[in-house]
Amino acid sequence: MAWDFETDPDYQAKLDWADEFVRTEVEPLDLVWPHEQFVPLTGKRRAAIAPLKQRVREQGLWATHLGPDLGGQGHGQVKLALLNEILGRCSWAPIVFGCQAPDTGNAEILAHYGTPEQKERYLRPLLDGELFSCYSMTEPQAGADPRQFTTTAVRDGDDWVLEGRKYFSSNARTAAFSIVMAITDPAAGAYKGMSMFLVPTDTPGIEIERDVRLYGEPEAAGQHALIHYSGVRVPDSALLGGAGQAFVIAQTRLGGGRIHHAMRTIGLAQKALDMLCERALSRETAGSSLAEKQFVQGYIADSWAQLAQFRLLVLHTAWKIDKHNDYRKVRKDIAAVKAVMPTVLHDIAWRSMQVHGALGVTDEVPLMKMITGAAVMGLADGPTEVHKTTVARQVLCDHSATEELWPTEWLPRKREAALAQYADFLGDER
Ligand SMILES: Cc1cc2nc3c(=O)[nH]c(=O)nc-3n(C[C@H](O)[C@H](O)[C@H](O)COP(=O)(O)OP(=O)(O)OC[C@H]3O[C@@H](n4cnc5c(N)ncnc54)[C@H](O)[C@@H]3O)c2cc1C
């Protein structure tokens, strides 16, 4: 019998360590180097951050997203969820713990589909935190629908030559390599005719046309690249997981990526709720504290319950991933987590922002950034609508249509059947 909501004491001690460490040592990095999480470490940044990473390693908490067979710590997704909700409070924490997106997803597919040579060249330094990677799938004219992708990779002797444009390829400017999705067999269709390529970012023919910034980011902070791959030549050994495998690989990658975002979002939403409660208790207006106003109490109660529901869904999904070790069996759960995540973060951050008054909409508190972050969560790794469609389709698989005119739960027919079933006990009462 394995129903249990307790964390084992040894791991809880590690979580307590991580919580204290993130609050005191890592959160300040967000203010010192707010936009340099994905810039390889050099000079003073290396001197400051490498020792922090070393302390995480000594706790056995480095790169916990992969099992030991794949080069990680092997704590599983439930324990990763508990850790990630601590790391979600700040943007440097995943980097310091070696489990940041999009590198986690990229490491996962390299571990699953990479050849020994590819793992040695790309996965090992990625896991060591020595380089960053980019996932280059979305195109300017098509994101949610891969059937509209046009980037191609054509064989030329022993090489492949890539041609096309990709959009929102996060961190391309600082990554050592990109995983590029391209059509290799147009006749086979989108789901069987595309392949993934491991492409070093210094390969001739790669041109970053511009680095797109998210709303509110400063001039030089854009990290979502519009890239032109123009006659980019890579050897056959750059093919990841075999020709025609891109779609299958993408599902592996995105499954993990989505649930990890959700785990971190719990931490961010908790931070917004903590801020809401502190403000409510601290601010006096119209004769009492905000905490005593029923409207504000409603905000707090709704936020707490929304977060608790979301957290249980995430943890249950993580538990199912550990149990089945097969993302296909938890597609519905991951899609549901992904679909509700933006709303949970948005609603809690919004209420917190409102209760902070004018201060809430300034850049002196992190609430507007969280609200923008919620909008991002509704798009990155696929729009909410598409994930809801997935949930609905999977739910419908467990149901079937009735042959009857009236629904199965039509009470007149059910009542008649019930009365017939218990007729011997009813006598004249009928
Ligand atoms: C911060 C951020 C980082 C990202 N990082 C990466 C990255 O590293 N690599 C990468 O390849 N991509 C990345 N993306 C791109 C992301 O995956 C796409 O934005 C997403 O797949 C949606 O594609 P699109 O923007 O082209 O929107 P579209 O596909 O044009 O969709 C626009 C809207 O149409 C609606 N819609 C679309 N399809 C359906 C449907 N089937 N049913 C109902 N409504 C629908 C939705 O409202 C959707 O938001 C990132 C995006 C963001 C915001």
Whether residue 255 is found in the same domain as residue 220: no
259 and 233 co-located in one domain? no
Asked if residue 127 is part of any domain, the answer here is no
On the question of a cis peptide bond just before residue 68, with omega within 30 degrees of 0, the verdict is no
| Strands 284-285 and 288-289, sheet pairing | antiparallel
How high is the pLDDT of residue 430? 58
Burial, 110: exposed, middle or buried (Cβ in 10 Å; 0-12, 13-18, 19+)? buried
376 lines ligand 1 (CB under 6 A): yes
CA–centroid distance, residue 90 to ligand 1 (Å): 24
256 and 236 together in one domain: no
* Coil vs helix vs strand at 70: helix
Q: Looking at the structure, do residues 255 and 374 belong to the same domain, yes or no?
A: yes
Residue 124 lies in a domain: no
Give the CATH number, domain containing residue 256: 1.20.140.10
- Look at residue 76 and tell me if it is in a domain: yes
CB 348 within 8 A of CB 311: no
- Helix (H) or strand (E) holding 207, with range, is strand 206-212
Task: Count structural domains, the chain.
Answer: 3
pLDDT of residue 429: 62
**How high is the pLDDT of residue 391?**
98
DSSP calls for 229-258:
EEEEEEEGGGEESSTT-HHHHHHHHHHHHH
Tell me which residue has tokens 């032109």. 228
Q: Is residue 425 part of a domain?
A: no
Q: Is the CB of 74 under 6 A from ligand 1?
A: no
Distance of CA 371 to the CA centre of its chain: 16
Contact 224 CB / ligand 1 (< 6 Å)? yes
For residue 155, give its domain range.
133-240
- Contact at 8 Å (CB) between 243 and 195? yes
Tokens (6 digits) for 393: 């389709």
Query: Are 261 and 363 within one domain?
Result: yes
178 CB less than 6 Å from ligand 1?
no
Q: Do 56 and 169 belong together in one domain? A: no
Q: How many residues does the chain have?
A: 430
Does 229 lie in the same domain as 265?
A: no
- Is residue 412 included in any domain, yes or no? no
Q: Determine, yes or no, domain membership for 35.
A: yes
Q: Whose CA is nearest to atom 48 of ligand 1?
A: 383
CA dist 195 → 112, 244, 247 (Å): 15, 5, 8
User: Is 381 part of any domain?
Assistant: yes
Domain end call among 240, 270, 293: 240
The CA distance from 206 to 193, in Å, is 23
Distance CA 88, CA 322 (A): 21
Same domain, 23 and 74: yes
Q: How many CB atoms sit inside 10 A of residue 6's CB?
A: 6
Per-residue pLDDT of the chain (430 residues; tens, 9 = 90+): 677 899 999 999 999 999 999 999 999 999 999 999 999 999 999 999 999 999 999 999 998 887 777 667 778 899 999 999 999 999 999 999 999 999 988 998 998 899 999 999 999 999 888 899 999 999 999 998 999 999 999 999 999 999 999 999 999 999 999 999 999 999 999 889 999 999 999 999 999 999 999 998 988 889 999 999 999 999 999 999 999 999 989 887 777 788 999 999 999 999 999 999 999 999 999 999 999 999 999 999 999 999 999 999 999 999 999 999 888 899 999 999 999 999 999 999 999 999 999 999 999 999 999 999 999 999 999 999 999 999 999 999 999 999 999 999 999 999 999 999 999 999 776 5
Atom of ligand 1 nearest to the CA of 378: 49
Closest CA to 254 of 390, 115, 129, 372: 390
One domain for residues 213 and 320: no
* 106 falls within a domain: no
Based on the domain organization, do 219 and 147 belong to the same domain?
yes
Residue 251 CA to ligand 1 center (angstroms) comes to: 15
- Residue closest by Cα to atom 2 of ligand 1: 380
The H or E element spanning position 298 is helix 294-324
Q: What is the CATH number of the domain that holds 160?
A: 2.40.110.10
What residue type is assigned to position 358 of the chain?
A
Write down the pTM of the prediction: 0.94
Last residue of a domain, one of 240, 267, 297: 240
Q: DSSP of 137-171, one letter per residue? A: --BTTBSS-GGG---EEEEETTEEEEEEEEEEEET
CA angle 246, 250, 254 (to 5 degrees): 175
Same-domain status, 211 and 322: no
End-to-end Cα separation, the chain, in angstroms: 46
Contact assessment for residue 197 and residue 185, using Cβ atoms and an 8 Å cutoff: no
Same domain, yes or no: 261 and 384: yes
